[in-house]
Chain A
């Protein structure tokens, strides 16, 4: 059993007991515990079920590398799945539940997968795709879907607050172990600005646990003193609970600070994302111990030797009462010694090396611990908890076993430097034969804007394994970073430390070396994704030679721990199966973040109302006051319709259309893009941008124009007004002002930079109102101030003047087919003008209308809408807009592309009107069916619906669409497919449904 030990636990505050709940049961711990240590102290070994086989799983590690002990944290709006219990600090009232099991942790139905393991081999998912389709649909998909995914997504909106924080520094040091502290000290003593971050709540890393001595003192004392020194330096910023999540181009790095995870009642943001720019980055990220691959290495109670030691020293927890240590290196002896000294039993140390005679092994022997040289674990016994191990010769096949009873196995396969941050931005690695690990190659660092390296490593992260080396390496890194950042480091050297003289480790990738297949099928490499030695070997036999392919095929290292424990072991097994050295196999790519970070931290403050800027027209508040139903149009909000009383949206829209067609409608058109194009070459410039001729436009007149991109596709449309000889006002679509303005700037700056033209986006400088309907002129004449008569202001003309005392620019243009004036006034006058129009217009039936009425009226007239009739693949010729394409101009943007063979193909679908025979409304995007099927067995198509509405004017469904040879097929009836598999017949008609002669606007 696992239990608390009195008088141990350097992180615990025994005066601060804490109560928490796991799977509904109330348990006790102390402040300073992690959820993992507190669960162990309560003899909770079984913490979850594995992903694929639902095998019982317990803790393996004590830190960020933990693959198994993921839990659901919190409830309701604070619920979060997949939280790592080893990095979750305990607080009073913490609520956690285990995950990935059904119906309960102790009794799980999915464990049948375990017995069917030979039917779930490497590449299982891919292999299921090769069965007949029916098997996938009815057999595999339901099973895979049920068992896929770890944890459950939260159902409620996240109640917590998050923020981003920008930080610029000379040197960033990631990792607060002795290497990070020494590197920070060496860099900071030069005067450089230093940021030091540590992912846990504690400083000093492993050195205090391992009993290191620095400067003649215990490491713990040296850490405390150094921390005080650093805190006293004005040029140093220090943050614990802040993980270095990623290193990116040109010295950019992300820090992930967990501010209140351990104290949720604090009034502060939960997480803070540090967006750091550093001239130099030092990664003092330490190393992670590797597991050993022996049969049953996933049974709860089998743990990393370093973790067993951590739980004992840091949290005063004995993982077991009888612990067998199994190792291929000297470091694991520290665990055996610590356990023995704490009064716990260590029946044997199983060492795979044939001869063991170092300082640490001899210390262990002196304590009376039996060291079994050249031995291996053949098999771990037990189900939900270790009960014993069978040992055998390492250099054998697992035969001739001998049993040792125990309730804990502490394993160590050696240490791998944490090279993630070094590698994120392109730092390269060397294989170090002595230690059987990959370490950063200082000659191939990630490079910055100046072509020089900007990342250094310090301590064990560099591959320095012994304390004096660690400090020396870290000191040198700190000095180098300061120098590269432009400072002069002090001459002082690193502190002295006691060497430990560890003997060499011996690589052990499979235990025992010649294990039989039944043993290999129980040797776990990736605990979280349930990948075994046999899976990787099978992948190699099936031809997966690239480590990246094997990773994806077997899912090795693809779980939320990203293979922190499994990757080196996995690629060693792969290399062995392929008969090639490990460096030739290489590693998979290290990608940020180092451990998962919350979505909330990534979003920061950008959520809810401040997710993006909200643009409001001067009349916005009026719309809201009237109860308008608003819809987003780019960053604008526009009224879709203004429901009155108990009106539905459809009823409101119909009323607005009918009133506009019969009386007068007022539209807030302020969002329409307005761009001034000015200069001696303005006409020449617009002739290049628009498909039609703009330079011939007379001052005082308006012209509708089309803009295409260089591929010939229609991108925007709008009315251009010529203000004077040098000045044009270009109207763009509501969502298009910014990108059309940028489009103009791009051509002026990068292609025709010698043309004398300026452009200015004045969209927000003006409020614009469309006054539309048979009574429009009466209203303007009542307000008075300028002549808006048929004779004075003809169709497609504009004039400046005053209306009701407001300075106004009046364009007589129409997007509805009615008599219509679009009137721009200074934005500051917009609301007053709008109110004046309503007040004066009451007697003529003036009523606001929204965007849906606008759309319906334009569709009734067959006017196209960018984004409905166009989708980036439509050219003006498809829409019957030949009249707006100049034949005289030698060149305009898109002209040459429109001459390409596919663009002139007579079989391109063309714009027509569509009327269902039964008057119903066609579904948006519905396709017109043609005879036969294509090569994929899908029905052939001959057209599609681009806009579709119920027309209140015509009291029937109308639609615009693109149809094969459409304009030549007037009157023909074609069938449109519905989602339910039926079809609806519709007649091809002229796209202008209403007032074909244009009599209504011509009054």
Chain B
């Protein structure tokens, strides 16, 4: 049962207050997309043992979607941030790189 801090309302929320939304920063491939791009968008997801960027919704709280950067192995949470972005904030990436020098980056 994770605890994540909602960046909108500031509540440290129990996982039962949250709804998991899978991998963050997907690109929506639609009109005119190739079959490969569409397949990647609809079905292919990262499953790293390590740093992962995820979508969460504070569904039993303020109702807002947000993003979390988390280690899937140690459950360390590096930070949570707005869902209204196409990439993780630079300072968060820097923080993760400091903690995990071998990390290959988020893309």
From B2, B33, B65, give the contact of A749 (CB < 8 A): B65
**B51-89 to A contact mask, C-beta < 8 Å, 1/0:** 000010101000111000001001111000001100000
Smallest distance from the beta carbon of A169 to chain B beta carbons, Å? 14
- Interface-located stretch among A411-419, A556-564, A581-589, A888-896: A888-896
Interface assignment of A753: CB less than 8 Å from any CB of chain B: yes
From B15, B21, B31, B76, give the contact of A895 (CB < 8 A): B31
Q: A750-B83, A751-B28 are in contact. Are A250 and B1 (CB under 8 A)?
A: yes
Q: Which residue of A has the minimal Cβ distance to B30?
A: A896
From B31, B63, B77, give the contact of A896 (CB < 8 A): B31
Q: Which residue of A has the minimal Cβ distance to B29?
A: A896
How far is A750 from B19 in the complex, measured between Cα atoms in Å? 14
Interface assignment of B3: CB less than 8 Å from any CB of chain A: yes
- Which B residues are CB-close (under 8 A) to A277? 3, 14
Q: Is the CB of B31 within 8 A of A447?
A: no
Q: Is the CB of A749 within 8 A of B84?
A: yes
How far is A710 from B30 in the complex, measured between Cα atoms in Å? 9
Interface assignment of A139: CB less than 8 Å from any CB of chain B: no
Interface assignment of A163: CB less than 8 Å from any CB of chain B: no
- Which B residues are CB-close (under 8 A) to A447? 74-76
Q: Is the CB of B71 within 8 A of A890?
A: no
Interface assignment of B35: CB less than 8 Å from any CB of chain A: yes
Q: Which residue of B has the minimal Cβ distance to A891?
A: B31
- Which B residues are CB-close (under 8 A) to A746? 21, 57, 65
Interface assignment of A897: CB less than 8 Å from any CB of chain B: yes
Interface assignment of A159: CB less than 8 Å from any CB of chain B: no
How far is A745 from B28 in the complex, measured between Cα atoms in Å? 16
- Which A residues are CB-close (under 8 A) to B46? none
How far is A746 from B83 in the complex, measured between Cα atoms in Å? 10
Question: For residues 271 through 326 of chain A, which have their beta carbon under 8 Å from a beta carbon of chain B?
Answer: 277
From A249, A749, A890, A895, give the contact of B1 (CB < 8 A): A249
- Which A residues are CB-close (under 8 A) to B35? 900
How far is A277 from B13 in the complex, measured between Cα atoms in Å? 12
Q: Is the CB of B2 within 8 A of A249?
A: yes
Smallest distance from the beta carbon of A901 to chain B beta carbons, Å? 8
Q: A710-B42, A750-B83, A900-B38 are in contact. Are A250 and B29 (CB under 8 A)?
A: no
**B20-42 to A contact mask, C-beta < 8 Å, 1/0:** 01000000111111010010011
Q: Which residue of B has the minimal Cβ distance to A454?
A: B75
Residue among A426, A448, A711, A749 having the largest count of chain B Cβ atoms under 10 Å: A749
Interface assignment of B49: CB less than 8 Å from any CB of chain A: no
How far is A745 from B58 in the complex, measured between Cα atoms in Å? 12
How far is A714 from B65 in the complex, measured between Cα atoms in Å? 24
Interface assignment of A742: CB less than 8 Å from any CB of chain B: yes
Q: Is the CB of A895 within 8 A of B2?
A: no
Smallest distance from the beta carbon of B16 to chain A beta carbons, Å? 9
Interface assignment of A629: CB less than 8 Å from any CB of chain B: no
Q: Is the CB of A897 within 8 A of B75?
A: no
How far is A537 from B56 in the complex, measured between Cα atoms in Å? 48
Category for how many chain B residues contact A: 20 to 34
- Which A residues are CB-close (under 8 A) to B31? 890-891, 895-896
Q: Which residue of A has the minimal Cβ distance to B59?
A: A742
Smallest distance from the beta carbon of B87 to chain A beta carbons, Å? 14
Q: Is the CB of A750 within 8 A of B38?
A: no
- Which A residues are CB-close (under 8 A) to B84? 749-750, 753
Q: Which residue of A has the minimal Cβ distance to B85?
A: A753
Interface assignment of A136: CB less than 8 Å from any CB of chain B: no
- Which B residues are CB-close (under 8 A) to A742? 57, 59
Q: Is the CB of B76 within 8 A of A451?
A: yes
Q: Which residue of A has the minimal Cβ distance to B3?
A: A250
Interface assignment of A450: CB less than 8 Å from any CB of chain B: yes
Q: Is the CB of A252 within 8 A of B29?
A: no
How far is A451 from B50 in the complex, measured between Cα atoms in Å? 12
Q: Is the CB of A451 within 8 A of B65?
A: no
Q: Is the CB of A749 within 8 A of B30?
A: no
From B28, B33, B99, give the contact of A451 (CB < 8 A): B99
Q: Is the CB of B75 within 8 A of A449?
A: yes
How far is A447 from B3 in the complex, measured between Cα atoms in Å? 13
Q: Is the CB of B63 within 8 A of A745?
A: yes
- Which B residues are CB-close (under 8 A) to A890? 31
From B33, B55, B77, give the contact of A449 (CB < 8 A): B77
From A425, A451, A750, A897, give the contact of B71 (CB < 8 A): A451
Q: Which residue of B has the minimal Cβ distance to A890?
A: B31
Smallest distance from the beta carbon of A666 to chain B beta carbons, Å? 35
Q: Is the CB of A451 within 8 A of B74?
A: yes
How far is A567 from B107 in the complex, measured between Cα atoms in Å? 43
Interface assignment of A248: CB less than 8 Å from any CB of chain B: yes
How far is A447 from B42 in the complex, measured between Cα atoms in Å? 33
How far is A426 from B73 in the complex, measured between Cα atoms in Å? 9
How far is A895 from B15 in the complex, measured between Cα atoms in Å? 34
Q: Which residue of A has the minimal Cβ distance to B24?
A: A750
Smallest distance from the beta carbon of A715 to chain B beta carbons, Å? 15
How far is A209 from B29 in the complex, measured between Cα atoms in Å? 70
From A249, A745, A749, A753, give the contact of B75 (CB < 8 A): A249
How far is A896 from B30 in the complex, measured between Cα atoms in Å? 5
Q: Which residue of B has the minimal Cβ distance to A894?
A: B30
Smallest distance from the beta carbon of A227 to chain B beta carbons, Å? 31
Smallest distance from the beta carbon of A279 to chain B beta carbons, Å? 11
Q: Is the CB of B33 within 8 A of A750?
A: no
- Which B residues are CB-close (under 8 A) to A751? 28
Smallest distance from the beta carbon of B101 to chain A beta carbons, Å? 14
- Which B residues are CB-close (under 8 A) to A710? 28, 41-42
**A419-450 to B contact mask, C-beta < 8 Å, 1/0:** 00000011000000000000000000001111
Q: Is the CB of A449 within 8 A of B3?
A: yes
Smallest distance from the beta carbon of B42 to chain A beta carbons, Å? 6
Smallest distance from the beta carbon of B102 to chain A beta carbons, Å? 15
**A874-899 to B contact mask, C-beta < 8 Å, 1/0:** 00000000000000001100011100
Smallest distance from the beta carbon of A995 to chain B beta carbons, Å? 39
Smallest distance from the beta carbon of A524 to chain B beta carbons, Å? 38
- Which B residues are CB-close (under 8 A) to A745? 63, 65
Q: Is the CB of B3 within 8 A of A896?
A: no
Residue among B32, B65, B75 having the largest count of chain A Cβ atoms under 10 Å: B75
How far is A744 from B68 in the complex, measured between Cα atoms in Å? 21
Smallest distance from the beta carbon of A804 to chain B beta carbons, Å? 38
Smallest distance from the beta carbon of B97 to chain A beta carbons, Å? 14
Q: Is the CB of B75 within 8 A of A448?
A: yes
Q: Is the CB of B83 within 8 A of A449?
A: no
How far is A897 from B42 in the complex, measured between Cα atoms in Å? 9
How far is A886 from B31 in the complex, measured between Cα atoms in Å? 14
**A898-919 to B contact mask, C-beta < 8 Å, 1/0:** 0010000000000000000000
Smallest distance from the beta carbon of B64 to chain A beta carbons, Å? 7
Q: Is the CB of B2 within 8 A of A250?
A: yes
- Which B residues are CB-close (under 8 A) to A891? 30-31
Q: Which residue of B has the minimal Cβ distance to A252?
A: B1
How far is A426 from B71 in the complex, measured between Cα atoms in Å? 13
From A450, A749, A895, give the contact of B64 (CB < 8 A): A749
- Which B residues are CB-close (under 8 A) to A896? 29-33, 38
- Which B residues are CB-close (under 8 A) to A451? 71, 74, 76, 99
Smallest distance from the beta carbon of B73 to chain A beta carbons, Å? 8
Q: Which residue of A has the minimal Cβ distance to B31?
A: A891
How far is A749 from B42 in the complex, measured between Cα atoms in Å? 19
- Which B residues are CB-close (under 8 A) to A450? 76-77
- Which B residues are CB-close (under 8 A) to A249? 1-2, 15, 75
- Which A residues are CB-close (under 8 A) to B76? 447-451
Smallest distance from the beta carbon of A425 to chain B beta carbons, Å? 8
How far is A895 from B32 in the complex, measured between Cα atoms in Å? 10
- Which A residues are CB-close (under 8 A) to B42? 710-711, 897
Q: A451-B76, A710-B42, A750-B83 are in contact. List 5 more A-B contacts (CB 8 A).
A: A249-B1, A425-B75, A449-B3, A450-B77, A896-B38
Interface CB pairs A-B, < 8 A, 16? A249-B15, A249-B75, A250-B75, A252-B1, A277-B3, A449-B3, A450-B77, A710-B28, A711-B42, A742-B59, A745-B63, A749-B65, A750-B84, A895-B30, A895-B31, A900-B35
The 6 closest A-B pairs by CB, nearest first: A451-B76, A252-B1, A753-B84, A447-B74, A749-B65, A449-B77
